[in-house]
Copies of this chain bind each other. A is one copy, B any other.
Amino acid sequence: MSNSFGNLFTLTTFGESHGPAIGGVIDGCPAGITLDLEAIQHELDRRKPGQSKITTQRKEPDQVEFLSGIFEGKTTGTSIGFQIKNTNQKSKDYSHNVDVYRPSHADYTYDQKYGIRDHRGGGRSSARETANWIVGGAVAKAILRDIKITAFTSSVGDIFIDKPYQALNFSEIEKNMVRCADPNIAEQMIKHISEVKKNGDTVGGTITCVIQNVPAGLGEPIFNKLHAELGKAMLSINAVKGFEYGSGFCGAKMKGSDHNDLFNPDGSTKTNLSGGIQGGISNGMDIYFRVAFKPVATLIQKQNTIDASGNVVEMQGRGRHDPCVVPRAVPIVEALSAMVMADAYLLSRARS
């Protein structure tokens, strides 16, 4: 089931950017969880287009409607259906795309796989799908209570935060439009994105995510290791090209005598190059990881490409695309992390 995520806490989704609605079904949520519908909508607002000058100027309210599974403000233990209506489906905008394969998009591969394709706005491969994930993640967060998940933009192009996350003030993140945890770096990032946008170009970046207050013992030891589930989740996000946790790729350059995390008598560790996970199972320290996003493929510049018959054609994106996907991807990283953690938490209860 390629449209389902999770094992015990699951999200199954549907929808194209240009149909009447997107939506999904959340299954496996325990009964009796209080859902704060405003908080859920707030998460959607963090992802929605048009929220600042450095995101796409497309306007879409992204209003979620719950259709089942909630009674008098609490989950009933039955499946939670929801939908988000599409209100901004200017199909005509995409008529120029009918037969054209946009470079570094999924147009060509969908045609190769399915032999048929809804060419309007990327169809199912549109990042609009991630609005569904926000809803799933917001419900997952209500299960997790004490576990705190915080993501932020850690680099845009060559500009990066040069401090460990422990030195950052997470309350700064939502104060700037690029969602960087360092206000000075944030300004540089915003300036850089603005310039890139002016040139009709796009730029990549990275997001760092920190998961705190995780009890020891979550995760599975062999094939569904906690970091492997997190990695798979992150690699599900459009434009993601890499994932590392703890010491990550830097760890590959290190010696064991520098890398080992020595224990304190209470079981915590003096350092945390492990990233809060040993053998696939949480050890009670902070879990942290970093996700790499490539630059958005849609440029407001002319590019040569081909159509379905192999003819070379010239194309140019219209003006409603993100110059950098990273700021709007921050809540998506959090949402998928929350779903992974809720799944691991529920599974740990079955086994305990």
Give residues in A with beta carbon < 8 Å to B. Answer: 1-5, 8, 10, 12-16, 19-25, 27-28, 30-32, 65, 67-69, 71, 74-81, 83, 101, 103-106, 108-110, 112-118, 123-125, 129, 155, 157-158, 196, 201-206, 216-225, 227-229, 231-233, 235-236, 238, 241-249, 251-267, 269, 273-275, 277-284, 292-299, 301, 303-306, 310-312, 346-352
B249, A223: Cβ atoms closer than 8 Å: no
* CB within 8 Å for A106 and B281 given contacts A236-B222, A256-B203: yes
* CB within 8 Å for A275 and B76 given contacts A71-B118, A101-B263: no
Alpha-carbon separation in the docked complex, A8 to B281 (Å): 18
- Which residues does chain B contribute within 8 Å of A279, judged by CB atoms? 105-106, 109-110, 125, 238
* CB within 8 Å for A115 and B228 given contacts A101-B263, A106-B279: no
Alpha-carbon separation in the docked complex, A245 to B241 (Å): 6
Alpha-carbon separation in the docked complex, A225 to B243 (Å): 14
Number of copies: 4
> Which residue of chain B has its CB nearest to the CB of A78?
B124
What's the minimum C-beta distance from A271 to chain B, rounded to whole angstroms? 10
* CB within 8 Å for A205 and B252 given contacts A225-B235, A299-B260: yes
* CB within 8 Å for A297 and B124 given contacts A255-B157, A351-B31: no
B206, A109: Cβ atoms closer than 8 Å: no
A108, B232: Cβ atoms closer than 8 Å: no
**Of the candidates B30, B204, B260, which one forms a contact with A253 in the assembled complex, judged by CB atoms under 8 Å apart?**
B204
* CB within 8 Å for A241 and B252 given contacts A4-B4, A79-B13, A109-B283: yes
> Which residue of chain B has its CB nearest to the CB of A129?
B222
> Which residue of chain B has its CB nearest to the CB of A261?
B104
* CB within 8 Å for A295 and B259 given contacts A12-B79, A25-B14, A232-B231: yes
B303, A260: Cβ atoms closer than 8 Å: yes
B204, A259: Cβ atoms closer than 8 Å: yes
What's the minimum C-beta distance from A246 to chain B, rounded to whole angstroms? 6
What's the minimum C-beta distance from A285 to chain B, rounded to whole angstroms? 10
B222, A232: Cβ atoms closer than 8 Å: no
B251, A292: Cβ atoms closer than 8 Å: yes
**Of the candidates B8, B67, B238, which one forms a contact with A350 in the assembled complex, judged by CB atoms under 8 Å apart?**
B8
B203, A255: Cβ atoms closer than 8 Å: yes
- Which residues does chain B contribute within 8 Å of A351, judged by CB atoms? 28, 30-31, 77, 113, 346
What's the minimum C-beta distance from A71 to chain B, rounded to whole angstroms? 4
- Which residues does chain B contribute within 8 Å of A303, judged by CB atoms? 260, 262
Alpha-carbon separation in the docked complex, A193 to B324 (Å): 41
B284, A221: Cβ atoms closer than 8 Å: no
What's the minimum C-beta distance from A15 to chain B, rounded to whole angstroms? 5
A103, B261: Cβ atoms closer than 8 Å: yes
- Which residues does chain B contribute within 8 Å of A74, judged by CB atoms? 116
- Which residues does chain B contribute within 8 Å of A266, judged by CB atoms? 310
What's the minimum C-beta distance from A174 to chain B, rounded to whole angstroms? 22
- Which residues does chain B contribute within 8 Å of A235, judged by CB atoms? 225, 227-228, 231-232, 243
B202, A256: Cβ atoms closer than 8 Å: yes
